[in-house]
Amino acid sequence: MERADFLIIGGGVAGLSAAARLARYGRTILLEAEEALGYHSSGRSVSFSHYGIGTAPVRALTAYSRPHFAPPLGRIFPTLYFADHASLPLLDALEADMAALSAEIRTLDAAQMTALFPPLRTGPGGAVRGLLDPTGLKLDADLILQSFAREVRAAGGSVLTGRRVAAVEPGWTVRTEAGETFSAPVLVNAAGAWADRVASLAGVAPLGLQPKRRTIIVVDAPADARIDTWPFALSAARDFYVQPEAGRLLVSPVDEVPDEPGDAQPEDYDIALAADRLERYTSIKVARIAHRWAGLRTFTADRIPKAGFAEDASGFFWLAGQGGYGFQTAPAMAEIAETLITGTAWPKGLAELGVGVEQVAPGRAAIGLA
């Protein structure tokens, strides 16, 4: 039996970021089921940080997390939200939400949008107005995961892969599928889409988490295009985005299909939808889909990620429900976990942004408050 002060289940961005903070206070052991860190959601993300997604608390958690993503973890990457006539009210709502956090948001007309993103279809039936956020951040997911893991190890903690937790005894002692045991008075459940299942192993009431599948296709860029200057372009209707990356284009139909925890795979229908929307919103023709994948985004009922001790099990800490913003909110959520587990003061900056302990408390998700 290996003993620690903090045991963490899950080697995605949530578990690793929390482990990096907790390792400063005591012996920390992180257990990841797969042979590689970030095999599930955290390795399938497009890893962007922007204010165009999520509820007000999520945007506040995003704002608080930004300073963590200095280069090389993040780099400035403009974000363009575009709207046709029908979706103009959505663009207006987005502008009001985003303007509260970024002073640099600008409205663009059709000509300004095509100057920035030439293939965008404008005019009748196409985009008529846009919103440019020049402060978007493209994050380096792998570097972020590895740097958190390095922090854990540098503080004397362990990050162990190939350790699938199969049994959990209150107190807390966990046993892996291979029969190894680990124990600690605090158990952090950062098992992503599986977090409710881990809670069930521990006899803790589930939060009612819902994993939802999202699909990405990678297509070749038009031969003559200078795509390195293109923004991350998203429809205000929230049914499409395209992002240039490494000479190709990542495209999503922004699907949210309820799914089970597991190794998510893209469905033909969503792949076709992604290609169709790229051709509908832009003049780009999809000649070949070079690559495709799907990943799970796991939501709580109120779409606010949760961090806090379970009300029904002493020492069982939830860190779950990161939805589609687990990277951009990870530094804030990890600091919240540190605060609540070690009993330090609530971060002043979070309070100033309007985030209090009650918003992220897991009890709120369990009773389905929206």
Ligand X SMILES: Cc1cc2nc3c(=O)[nH]c(=O)nc-3n(C[C@H](O)[C@H](O)[C@H](O)COP(=O)(O)OP(=O)(O)OC[C@H]3O[C@@H](n4cnc5c(N)ncnc54)[C@H](O)[C@@H]3O)c2cc1C
> What residue ranges bind ligand X (CB under 6 A)?
9-15, 31-34, 38-42, 44-48, 164-165, 190-194, 198, 214, 216, 295-297, 322-328
Q: Which is nearer to ligand X, 14 or 127 (CB)?
A: 14
Q: Which is nearer to ligand X, 126 or 253 (CB)?
A: 253
Which of 201, 195, 184, 174 lies closest to 362, judged by CA? 195
The length of the chain, given as a count of residues: 370
In the bound complex, what is the minimum distance in angstroms from residue 24's beta carbon to ligand X? Answer: 20
Contact between 363 and 306 under an 8 Å Cβ cutoff? The reply is no
Separation of alpha carbons 20 and 11, rounded Å: 11
Q: Which is nearer to ligand X, 164 or 291 (CB)?
A: 164
In the bound complex, what is the minimum distance in angstroms from residue 85's beta carbon to ligand X? Answer: 28
Separation of alpha carbons 1 and 185, rounded Å: 14
Please, which residues have CB within 8 angstroms of residue 216's CB and are 6 or more apart in sequence? Answer: 44, 46, 250, 251, 252, 266, 274, 292, 293, 294, 295
In the bound complex, what is the minimum distance in angstroms from residue 114's beta carbon to ligand X? Answer: 25
Question: Which helix (H) or strand (E) is 295 found in, with range?
Answer: strand 289-299
Please, which residues have CB within 8 angstroms of residue 177's CB and are 6 or more apart in sequence? Answer: 164, 166
In the bound complex, what is the minimum distance in angstroms from residue 324's beta carbon to ligand X? Answer: 5
Number of Cβ within a 10 Å radius of residue 351: 12
Query: Sign of the C-alpha dihedral, residues 295, 79, 146, 63?
Result: negative
Q: Which is nearer to ligand X, 63 or 190 (CB)?
A: 190
In the bound complex, what is the minimum distance in angstroms from residue 26's beta carbon to ligand X? Answer: 20
User: Hey, is 267 helix, strand or coil?
Assistant: coil
Separation of alpha carbons 172 and 182, rounded Å: 8
In the bound complex, what is the minimum distance in angstroms from residue 231's beta carbon to ligand X? Answer: 14
In the bound complex, what is the minimum distance in angstroms from residue 37's beta carbon to ligand X? Answer: 7
In the bound complex, what is the minimum distance in angstroms from residue 234's beta carbon to ligand X? Answer: 10
Q: Which is nearer to ligand X, 13 or 120 (CB)?
A: 13
Q: Which is nearer to ligand X, 128 or 195 (CB)?
A: 195
Give the position of tokens 């190894």. Answer: 180
Number of Cβ within a 10 Å radius of residue 123: 10
User: Hey, is 226 helix, strand or coil?
Assistant: coil
Q: Which is nearer to ligand X, 198 or 350 (CB)?
A: 198
Q: Which is nearer to ligand X, 265 or 283 (CB)?
A: 265
Q: Is 27 exposed, middle or buried (0-12, 13-18, 19+ CB in 10 A)?
A: middle
In the bound complex, what is the minimum distance in angstroms from residue 287's beta carbon to ligand X? Answer: 23
**Strand residues in 58-122 grouped as ranges (E):** 74-76, 79-83, 106-109
Separation of alpha carbons 305 and 211, rounded Å: 13
Q: Which is nearer to ligand X, 114 or 322 (CB)?
A: 322
